[in-house]
């Protein structure tokens, strides 16, 4: 049994990482990301590889390098360390909700952030 909190129904991956990272220290691996994948998107078998390709070698680096806030309102909440309410995604996806933008990989868009995920 894991000591990590369960993902909320329809919670996206970045919102989960942001919520859990405030309570659980990053231990230098993708433990929280893997737990989310196992619980919410088990068919995303290459998720860890994809995040590493985009610069996320641990859970905190996913929040720093792979995703960023999409709106100034979300950015202000994150900068203030306040709770961010997830806009929701369908079960089984690793797409971020409307609060986040995912970085596109080198082969998918030159490392830029865009509305579409990598």
pLDDT tens, position by position, 1-23: 468 999 999 999 999 999 999 89
Gyration radius of the chain over CA positions? 13
Mean pLDDT of 12-36: 95
Average pLDDT of the chain to the nearest whole number: 88
Which percentage of the chain shows pLDDT scores above 70? Answer: 86
- Which tokens belong to 43? 């068919």
Count of CA atoms in the C-beta half-sphere (13 A) of 58: 8
- What are the residues whose beta carbons fall under 8 Å from the beta carbon of 117, sequence distance 6 or more? 94, 95, 96, 102, 104
Mean pLDDT of 91-117: 72
The span from the CA of 118 to the CA of 106, in Å, is 9
pLDDT of residue 118 exceeding 70:
no
Count of CA atoms in the C-beta half-sphere (13 A) of 34: 11
Mean pLDDT of 84-97: 93
Query: SS3 for 36?
Result: helix
Q: What is the pLDDT of residues 59-83, one digit of tens each?
A: 999 999 999 999 999 999 999 999 9
- What are the residues whose beta carbons fall under 8 Å from the beta carbon of 79, sequence distance 6 or more? none
Mean pLDDT of 46-54: 91
pLDDT bin (cut points 50, 70, 90) of residue 109 is very low
pLDDT of residue 111 exceeding 80:
no
Strand partners, 100: 69
The span from the CA of 35 to the CA of 79, in Å, is 26
């Amino acid at each position: 049994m894991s000591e990590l909190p369960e993902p909320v129904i329809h919670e996206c991956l970045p919102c989960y990482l942001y919520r859990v990272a405030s309570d659980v220290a990053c231990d230098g691996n993708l433990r929280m990301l893997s737990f989310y994948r196992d619980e919410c998107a088990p068919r995303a078998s290459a998720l860890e590889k994809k995040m590493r390709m985009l610069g996320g070698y641990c859970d905190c680096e996913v929040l720093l390098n792979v995703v960023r806030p999409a709106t100034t309102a979300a950015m202000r909440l994150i900068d203030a360390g306040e709770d961010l309410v997830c806009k929701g995604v369908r079960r089984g996806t690793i797409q971020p909700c409307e609060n986040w933008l995912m970085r596109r990989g080198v082969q998918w868009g030159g490392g830029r952030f865009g509305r579409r995920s990598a």
